[in-house]
Amino acid sequence: MMTAQPLETLVPDYIKRFQAYIPSKPDDELKKIYGCSKLYRLNNNENPLGPPETARRAIEAFPPAQASIYPSGDAHHLRCKLADIFGMHPDQFLAGNGANEVIAFVIKAFCQQGDNIITADKTFAVYEWVAEFSGFEARLVPLVDYGFDASGMIDKIDERTKILFVCNPNNPTGSWWNERTLSSFLDRIDGKRIVVVDEAYREFVRSADFPDSMALIGKYPNLVVFRTFSKMYGLAGLRIGYLAGSREVVDIIRRTCIVYSVNALAQVGAFFALADKEHIPRTHEIVSAGKRFLLKELDLMGLPYVHGEGNFVMARLPMSDSLAYRKMMTRGVMVRAMTGFRFPNWIRITVSCQEALEAFVEALSGIVKDNGAP
């Protein structure tokens, strides 16, 4: 009789080293755990307006019987819509089950054993995670003045570097590269590596010198741009994002795609969200007013903060961020503890509606006073 090998012998070393990401519990469970009757979600940079009205109507009109039918395997209509908007070809776009999936598409398409990717040490962690749990090295470059260091990233390149990830604007600091910085970076890469510019928060940007990355694709065929419907467009619960690039690069990435991963309702919601002309300006108004209020209150509490483009602000606390998280949860306010982003004792706050921000200020000021801070 054969003896089964221990499970550990089947697990690659890079998986043994990697810790699983444990998501937060559903809101109803969190309310039970922390004893709060209402929960303000200021942890995931969600849009308090929810989806655009055009998307809401399309979702409500979705025929339930179509749930039994497979969706378009390549999000055909959505890709055609994006091509019309950006003046590109539909085959220059790929949709995925949220930005996390398109990150995996790119890494799987270009990396093999012994390769590495380069990104910042304090940015959206999924670039690093996907590389590491796929068996590839993630080389991390420290931020400079809370922003991506272009020269530092280039200095890390070796013959096994395949992809450089730039989060623009950066989550969680809100810093961004202007068009001159991005173009200079792409010129120095000289088409020899894939450069991914993740623009998950692009629609929140108000700065005039922010680069038009879609327009740069024609000049830099090694450029891949990420966008999402989770943030500005309020479709995080439906999980849909996309990438754009040259037809040659996207054709390669397409070989790693999982067809049918984007459900039919997500495709409908995203398609119609793009047609709404009022949603983005309305969100800008909320974010601008919310930031003014939030920064004023953080000043009054004497707490240092970092902000830029995007619908979020980071604040440094005179205590453990995980302790602050737990205490704020008992007051019904959910923020992002930033130790996991390598910002210990910082929290990230989503700029939301006035009611939620007032609840946050009341909760945090109480905690700061209880901690003995002046």
pLDDT of the residue at 238: 97
Angle at 318 between CA 317 and CA 322, to 5 degrees: 60
- Percent share of the chain, pLDDT over 90: 90
pLDDT at 177: 98
Which pairs with CB-CB distance under 8 Å and at least 24 residues apart come from 18-21?
18/129, 18/132, 18/133, 21/129
- What pLDDT is attached to residue 369? 82
pLDDT category, 99, cuts 50, 70, 90? confident
Query: Would you say residue 146 has pLDDT above 50?
Result: yes
List of long-range contacts for 249-255, beta carbons under 8 Å, 24+ apart: 249/194, 249/221, 249/222, 249/224, 250/91, 250/92, 250/93, 250/94, 250/224, 251/91, 252/109, 252/110, 253/94, 253/105, 253/106, 253/109, 253/224, 254/94, 255/109
| Cβ-contact 224, 244 below 8 angstroms | yes
Give me the helix-helix angle, 321-330 and 354-370, nearest 10°.
120
Tell me the C-alpha distance between 43 and 36, whole Å. 16
Q: How far apart are the first and last CA of the chain?
A: 71
- Decide if pLDDT at 2 tops 70: no
Let me know the angle formed at the C-alpha of 86 by 58 and 262, rounded to the nearest 5 degrees. Answer: 45
What does the pLDDT average to over 118-127? Answer: 96
d(CA 74, CA 258): 9
Q: Which CATH architecture has domain 53-273?
A: 3-Layer(aba) Sandwich (3.40)
CB 176 within 8 A of CB 170: yes
Residue 4 has pLDDT above 70, yes or no: no
Lowest mean per-residue pLDDT among 147-161, 255-269, 315-329, 358-372: 358-372
For residues 307 and 325, give the distance between their C-alpha atoms in angstroms, rounded to a whole number.
Answer: 20
Instruction: Return the domain boundaries, the chain.
Output: 7-50+278-370, 53-273
Helix (H) or strand (E) holding 60: helix 53-60
pLDDT for res 303: 97
pLDDT single digits (tens) 316-349: 999 999 999 999 999 999 999 999 899 999 999 9
Q: Which pLDDT value is given to residue 345? A: 97
Residue 282 has phi, psi (to 5 degrees) of: -65, -40
The whole-angstrom distance between residue 290's C-alpha and the CA centroid of its chain comes to 20
Whether 269 has a pLDDT exceeding 60, the answer reads: yes
pLDDT, residue 3, reads: 63
Which pLDDT band holds residue 374 (cuts at 50, 70, 90)?
very low
Mean pLDDT (whole number) for 187-197: 98
Q: CA distances (Å), 317 to each of 19, 314, 348, 368, in order? A: 26, 10, 11, 8
Residue 14, burial from CB neighbour count under 10 angstroms (0-12, 13-18, 19+): middle
What is the pLDDT at residue 21? 79
- The Cα 263–Cα 240 span in angstroms is 9
For residue 8, what pLDDT is reported?
83
Q: Give the per-residue pLDDT at 14.
A: 87
Predicted local confidence at residue 1, as pLDDT: 56
pLDDT in tens, 101-111: 999 999 999 99
Question: Are 137 and 17 in contact, with CB atoms under 8 Å apart?
Answer: no
Q: Quick one: pLDDT at residue 336? A: 97
pLDDT digits 0-9 by tens, 356-366: 999 999 999 99
Phi, psi of 272 (to 5 degrees): -80, -25
Give the mean pLDDT of the chain: 95
* CATH number of the domain located at residue range(s) 7-50+278-370 in this protein: 3.90.1150.10
**Residues 6+ positions from 4 with CB-CB distance below 8 Å:** none
How sure is the predictor about 18, in pLDDT bands with cuts at 50, 70 and 90? confident
